[in-house]
Amino acid sequence: MSDEFNEGRFSDEELKEYEKIHQIYFDNKGFQKMWNYFLDITKKEYFNDVIKELRKKYEIPPNGYKPDEDGCYRFPPRNTIFEDNFQKELALRNEIIEKICRKYQLHNFDFSDVVLRYVFYNYIELSNQLGACGLFIVSDVIKEKEDPFSEFVQQSDDMAYPIAIRISPYASQRDLIDFIKNKIVWKKEIEFLQNKYKDKNIKIGRVKAKNQSTQERNDFIYQNRDKTLKEVRELLADKNIFLDDGHIAKIISLEKQKRKEV
């Protein structure tokens, strides 16, 4: 959890408990599916072109701001035009929503935070909000109607989570599981509505997560794609990674395809 998010809000014990619960959400398969989809987006040429464009427009360094001397990623960054100018930050956030979140059907509220941090610091971090950036949310429907930000949040929820199962306060976990596992309910109601709102161009669930070290290797090869295969092979050998030229060329080709829009 980011230091600026905590800043006295939690005791050490409360912070540990919060992070434990946060990790449980992170380990959920639905969350992993959504997060892998987002990480794949961050490699797209379009995404990176938008980031460059926004940094230039808002006078942010090409590689983002550096963290504070204590290593913290302040939000908004200190000693910048955003520190005491909420309207400037809001304008940037709105462009992120329009150009990235809506294009890729990312929850506007949750993912604009993640992308905004990336624009500022060139650093991707999970949202601190429990349950954010996943395939499911639990919400207090009655209380939401009283929230002053209800309309903005509701629009984001409607786009990312257009289907709801409203639960009685008297239902048990077993009741809910039995309801969802009912084949007729799943096929005729839930899956029927999912198909109604699905966009064939959205690839959530179709992005396979690679082993982190494998992906780092592939990213390194792609970053050096303008060098000769021999030069790339030698750079890899310096890292104790040994691949032949054919394998390197194939990785470059696949990584190029991944970064292009379909």
Which helix (H) or strand (E) segment is 52 a member of? helix 45-57
Orientation of helix 45-57 relative to helix 86-96, angle to 10°: 160
CA 84 remoteness from chain centre: 26
Return the pLDDT at 174: 97
- Amino acid letter, residue 247: H
Whether 113 maps to a domain, the answer reads: yes
Domains identified in the chain, total number: 2
Whether 171 maps to a domain, the answer reads: no
Q: Which of 64, 98, 121 lies at the terminal end of a domain, its last residue? A: 121
Whether 132 maps to a domain, the answer reads: no
3-state secondary structure of 143: helix
For residues 86 and 71, what is the distance between their CA atoms, to the nearest angstrom? 23
pLDDT at position 234 over 90: no
pLDDT at position 241 over 80: yes
At 186, the pLDDT band (50, 70, 90 cuts) reads very high
pLDDT digits (tens, 9 = 90+) for 38-51: 998 998 999 999 99
| Whole-structure pTM value | 0.75
Return the pLDDT at 13: 82
Return the pLDDT at 187: 95
Q: Given the structure tokens 């987002």, which residue do they identify?
A: 38
Whether 197 maps to a domain, the answer reads: no
Q: Which of 121, 148, 164 lies at the terminal end of a domain, its last residue? A: 121
Q: Which of 105, 121, 137 lies at the terminal end of a domain, its last residue? A: 121
Host domain of residue 230: 212-259
The pairs formed by 245-249 with CB atoms below 8 angstroms and a separation of 24 or more are 248/221
For 258, residues 6+ apart whose C-beta sits below 8 A from its C-beta are 40, 43, 44
Q: By mean pLDDT, which of 58-72, 148-162, 215-229 is the weakest?
A: 148-162
